[in-house]
Amino acid sequence: MKKIQTILAASAMSMALSSMSYSGELIINSDASDPAPKAAFSEIIDAFEKQNPDIHVTYNLYDHEGYKTTIRNWLVTSPPDVVFWYAGNRMKAFVDRGLFEDVSDVWDDNQLHQDFASAKPAMTIDDKQWGVPYTYYQWGIYYRKDIFDKYGISEPKTWEEYLAACALLKKNNIAPITIGSKYLWTTAGWFDYINLRVNGLAFHMDLMDGKVPYTDPRVKKTFETWKELIDAGYYLENHATYSWQEAQPFLYRGEAAMYLIGNFITPNFPEELKDKMAFMQFPVINPEVGLAEDAPMDTLHIPSKAKNKADARKFLAF
């Protein structure tokens, strides 16, 4: 019996030491690689380490596109302690597979239900919270105001006005719309907006939740509307060869007039063009539906298989 007790005690100590070895080492994988968020998170991590001198943070930064692929491997094998990701349906895909930790306790202990009341629905599945938001950003159409003024184009409010503006720009050898579709998420923005404007927010959410099939006639109407732009040649030529960043210079050189994109583009505007850039809502297509907007939310999560969940919770609370 004494031998068994000794073995059990040694085993318990081994487990404790193994657990302790993860304490104080916090590994974070991030795709916040654009200059502004990169600088912001460098400051946040410095502040976190100063407030928690017993915790050392290893911050691994990846490019956006590579990150979207590799996170799927990390989460099922050897994940870090904190990962950057996105709210809503993109989060749900990992929650449904049991790959994200329930962090409702972080929300309960830090008054996040009140502080993030508007964001809470996008972070909640089955009445539990699965991450913490750190930013959101609106999408819309950024355009060259000076080019619009040169050709007497007023900011289009309706789909008909938008098509007319595109036709006039194309007639004057300016690509109406720049886009880089090398990575397909930029085209998803177009689908979202056209579907929101054709069918409304409730239908769009049902479609995203899988409650409506993509074979539904209402989705067909969305694609038919989108096809009007494609058939008329209003998009930048060879856009499939460009990333979203590589499609920007066409706008800045005046070779294209509009870009449907998130406001993360604004720090990239050349100084000499800042007074010439303007922003507008996506135009009305079906006046019977409300004007819902795309506003993606970037989030922080603890993988289910993370080793240092205690310090990860401290970081999410920070």
- Count H helices and E strands in the chain, helices first: 14, 11
For residue 22, the model assigns a pLDDT of 52
pLDDT in tens, 283-316: 999 999 999 998 889 999 999 999 999 999 999 9
Q: Where are the domains of the chain?
A: 15-135+297-317, 139-280
In terms of CATH, what superfamily is 139-280?
Periplasmic binding protein-like II (3.40.190.10)
For residue 64, the model assigns a pLDDT of 85
pLDDT in tens, 122-168: 999 999 999 999 988 899 999 999 999 999 999 999 999 999 999 99
Does residue 29 carry a pLDDT above 60?
Answer: yes
pLDDT in tens, 231-274: 999 999 999 999 999 999 999 999 999 999 999 999 999 999 99
For residue 35, the model assigns a pLDDT of 81
pLDDT in tens, 199-238: 999 999 999 988 999 999 999 999 999 999 999 999 999 9
Structure-token match 């922080």, residue found: 300
pLDDT in tens, 34-78: 787 888 899 999 999 999 999 999 999 998 888 988 999 999 999
Tokens (6 digits) for 149: 């003024």
In terms of CATH, what superfamily is 15-135+297-317?
Periplasmic binding protein-like II (3.40.190.10)
Does residue 12 carry a pLDDT above 50?
Answer: no
Please give the model's pTM, rounded to 2 decimal places.
Answer: 0.80
b/e burial code for range 126-157 (CB count within 10 A of at least 16 → b): eeebbbbbbebeebbbbbbbebbeeeebebbe
